[in-house]
Amino acid sequence: MPYQYFLVDRPLPYVAHVQINRPSKLNSFFEAMWLEFKTVFDTLSHDPEIRAIILSGAGDRAFTAGLDVQAASQAGILQQQEGKTEDVARKAVGIKRHVEEFQNCISSVEKCEKPVICVMHGFTLGLGMDISTCADIRICSADTKFAVKEVDIGLAADIGTLTRLPKAVGNFSWVKEVSLSARVFGAQEAYQVGYVSRVLETKEKALQAALEMAELLATKSPIAVQGTKELLNHARDHTVADSLRYTGVWNSAAIQTSDVERAMLSGLRKTKPRFEKL
């Protein structure tokens, strides 16, 4: 899996590790990167050798500092408004297409069928929030500096933070405060409000913790794990009645898996179950 902007390796059986790999620029993104980002996650989503994914940023300084504003101001979204046309409505159509494609690329983390553990450290700004709100499990090192930074460049965050953060964290006052003010907050605050579920001393320790978690998930039935991700995401967006109905239909196929028998037998025999690829 040789990618240009991402390191993707397999540190453990069934576990992929994706690193945003532009450390010299604080792992900031430009268009080609988020297009490749989608390819990475779409590929992993259907790769039968992978059951859990860790996402982190290469280097010491940042998970990602977000959009490479310099690149963006030369081409792409923030430049749309000076395109070939002067017509506001035509520019708007171009911007909308651009934003949707961008959203689509980042949402690939959420749509990925395998659980994604996001390990943050250092600067985790703007797009770094958009990306991490898409992940399933968020952990970070003690030095992480988060910010919903978009207000400071004159726009409302539009790649997913404002959409998903209110449903990721149960403190709407805090969500609004950090989103409206663009202020930086640290790892402890992120932990206390429930944005991350664990804080480790250093990036290395956070990665180690993520590896252990991924290893654990990779030993479970992939039918059970991937179904759980799907049903939790469905529940977030639907009424209880709708999700119960969807769950019933989902499990009407899933529960016919041989994994149930294998899991139960292993439970009784205290052995490690082995599950067929998915």
Decide whether 5 or 190 has the Cβ nearer to a copy of itself. 190
Q: Which residue shows structure tokens 């939790």? A: 232
Residue 226 within binding range of a copy of itself, rule CB under 8 A: yes
Give the single-character DSSP code of 29.
Answer: B
Please tell me whether residue 136 binds a copy of itself under the rule CB under 8 A: yes
How far CA 64 is from CA of 156, 171, 216, in Å, comes to 19, 25, 27
Tally the residues of the chain. Answer: 278
Of 10-18, 29-37, 119-127, 263-271, the segment contacting a copy of itself by CB under 8 A is 263-271
Among 248, 269, 270, 272, binds a copy of itself (CB under 8 A): 248
Query: For the stretch 180-198, what's the b/e string if a residue is b when 16 or more beta carbons lie within 10 angstroms of its beta carbon?
Result: eebebbebeebbebebbee
Answer yes or no whether residue 227 interacts with a copy of itself by CB under 8 A.
yes
Pick the closer one to a copy of itself by CB: 138 or 203. 138
Task: Output the smallest distance, CB 177 to a copy of itself, in A.
Answer: 5
Phi, psi of 13 (to 5 degrees): -55, 135
Q: Is 89 in the site for a copy of itself (CB under 8 A)?
A: yes
Residue written as token pair 């902007």:
5
Interacting residue with a copy of itself among 2, 4, 240, 274 (CB under 8 A): 240
Nearer to a copy of itself, 5 or 195 (CB): 195
Q: Does 170 bind a copy of itself (CB under 8 A)?
A: yes
Q: How far is residue 230's CA from residue 250's CA, in Å, rounded to a whole number?
A: 9
